[in-house]
Structure 1
Amino acid sequence: MTYLLIKQSIKNYVSWKNSFDQFQEYRKIGGELSCEIYQAHGKRHEHIILFQWKSEESAIEFLESQSFEMIKELEDEEPIAIQFLPRKAVG
Structure 2
Amino acid sequence: MAYMLAVNLKVANYENWKKSFDGSAELRKANGEISYQLFRKAEDPNDLVMLSQWHDEESARRFLHSDELRAAQQESGVVQIPDCTVLQELDSGTL
For the Cα contact (< 8 Å) 1:31–1:55, is it kept in 2?
Answer: yes
Give the C-alpha shift of residue 70 in structure 1. Answer: 2.6
For the Cα contact (< 8 Å) 1:19–1:70, is it kept in 2?
Answer: no
Q: What is the TM-score with the length of structure 2 in the denominator? A: 0.80
The alignment covers a number of residue pairs equal to 90
Q: Distance in 2 between matches of 1:43 and 1:4?
A: 22
**Aligned residue in 2 for 1:14:** 15
Q: Any stretches of 5+ residues in structure 1 without a counterpart?
A: none
**Aligned residue in 1 for 2:81:** 79
Q: Percent identity?
A: 28
**Aligned residue in 1 for 2:46:** 45
Q: Distance in 2 between matches of 1:69 and 1:79?
A: 10
Q: Distance in 1 between matches of 2:44 and 2:73?
A: 19
Q: What is the TM-score with the length of structure 1 in the denominator? A: 0.83
For the Cα contact (< 8 Å) 2:61–2:86, is it kept in 1?
Answer: no
Alignment of 1:88 with 2:90, yes or no, is yes
Q: Distance in 1 between matches of 2:91 and 2:44?
A: 26
Let me know the Cα RMSD of the aligned residues. 2.0
Q: Deviations over 1:48-85 (max 9, x none)?
A: 01000000111122212233113322222x43111112
**Aligned residue in 1 for 2:29:** 28
Give the C-alpha shift of residue 29 in structure 1. Answer: 2.1
For the Cα contact (< 8 Å) 1:9–1:45, is it kept in 2?
Answer: yes
3-state SS of 2:44 partner = coil
